[in-house]
Structure 1
């Protein structure tokens, strides 16, 4: 049984979706909310597997609600939106689908099939997506995670180095490190995150720190504080 919740501020839209979900016998609606504050409380208390989430709510943006949750508390998300150009946030928080309002039965059925497959896959449902969405003005670039070697903090932004290009993302390094950890990325400095598999050369310093040379040619400092994490990622038992 899939435990589903709905966060939508328009009562008529909630009524319509609730009615449409009744024909899906493997789904049980465990709660509804009409704003961000009540929605956050609903997620904490009901712990739904699947969340139908409006992109725009009276007290904020739906994607911000998901970003504010610890990754282990995030349900699968299907966005609800009245405008097709509001679908981009779905890429940024790894939503499995988005539905244009008024929601159609066929589109809903397809989205639920995706949710069933993700939930049936177990841990794969929580695996990182294969790309990172980076906005550049009116354009959104989907940067393949496999192409990223290095992420550096620069003020309020992150510089994502991928295939010879640098993409700017407004995000905290700790948040991105948590997201990319399963893909083999390691924090090597308070302001740097690298793919362990991209490390080609390690040059020692006298104080226990080191310099890493990556496959891209970039050189990144490795602090002794973060050294054990890199050793584990590289399969080293002790030292280099």
Structure 2
């Protein structure tokens, strides 16, 4: 049997935490590693416990749920299921690569469906592709040798036990998930077994911009740019997604977008 999923509960309401604990106890492969009442406790607990899954409220004292996510390092983040009574944050939650969005009140079956997503995610991360097959598939993503460009035109991603080709022209942005990368294509995200730095070297810099240590964005998806005082920029994409660049990437953002220095 595989090790249980280590779960952290974050909710400022005691009764909500108790119900989540009762529901987790009904699943035989979940291990509760802690519970938190506010955002500051959550950030500290995630850093200390390194849970596989966080059941995260949105509105609570201190940093809210999205503030908790922003405070976490991009390396090996836990899976997150938002559990909230507020329906207005669903789009923002999925933009933050949340695994699911549970709207209170929910029933047992809906909760089981969320846990099933967490199990599927771990299977996808823990089950490497056949090495020879992956090498052949990756070779297919490159241009023919007679063409001068060395950049890929397709990426290989995991979809359960299957493999899917993602056309580079369809990609909106890519975000780091430890030794994996989440590739956003429209409303869907796919995991590919590479680091963000490795993919950066494979993507055409005329089409893609590394603007943060945790994300790469496709240039023609950027609709608006909002400068921030510390030297950062907020990118507003065509679909409304907002991504904030890192300060150390200021110069290359300005070059790529031809912004004033």
Same fold (TM over 0.5): yes
Shift of 1:64: 1.1
Equivalent of residue 43 in structure 2, options 35, 40, 43: 40
Aligned twin of 1:22: 25
Pair 1:78-2:81 in alignment: yes
Q: What is the CA–CA distance in structure 1 between the aligned matches of 2:239 and 2:226, rounded to whole Å?
A: 12
The 1:132–1:56 alpha-carbon spacing in structure 2 relative to 1, beyond 3 Å, is farther
Any conservation in 2 of the 1:92–1:132 contact (CA below 8 Å)?
A: no
Equivalent of residue 128 in structure 1, options 182, 185, 191: 182
The 1:5–1:147 alpha-carbon spacing in structure 2 relative to 1, beyond 3 Å, is closer
SS at match of 1:91: helix
TM-score by length of 2: 0.56
Aligned twin of 1:191: 253
Which has the larger share of strand? 1
The 1:132–1:7 alpha-carbon spacing in structure 2 relative to 1, beyond 3 Å, is farther
- Please list, as runs of the form range in 1=range in 2, the aligned pairs for 1:200-211 lying within 5 A after superposition: none
Structure index of larger Rg: 1
Q: What is the CA–CA distance in structure 1 between the aligned matches of 2:106 and 2:183, rounded to whole Å?
A: 25
Pair 1:106-2:109 in alignment: yes
List 4+ stretches of structure 1 deviating above 6 A.
none
Equivalent of residue 56 in structure 2, options 45, 53, 56: 53
Q: Which consecutive residues of structure 1, in runs of 5 or more, have no partner in the other structure?
A: 134-144, 178-186, 195-218, 222-240
Q: Which consecutive residues of structure 2, in runs of 5 or more, have no partner in the other structure?
A: 127-157, 159-176, 188-214
Q: CA RMSD in A?
A: 3.4
Q: What is the CA–CA distance in structure 2 between the aligned matches of 1:132 and 1:65, rounded to whole Å?
A: 25
- Number of corresponding residues: 172
Q: What is the CA–CA distance in structure 2 between the aligned matches of 1:33 and 1:40, rounded to whole Å?
A: 9
Aligned twin of 2:244: 172
Q: What is the CA–CA distance in structure 1 between the aligned matches of 2:226 and 2:22, rounded to whole Å?
A: 48
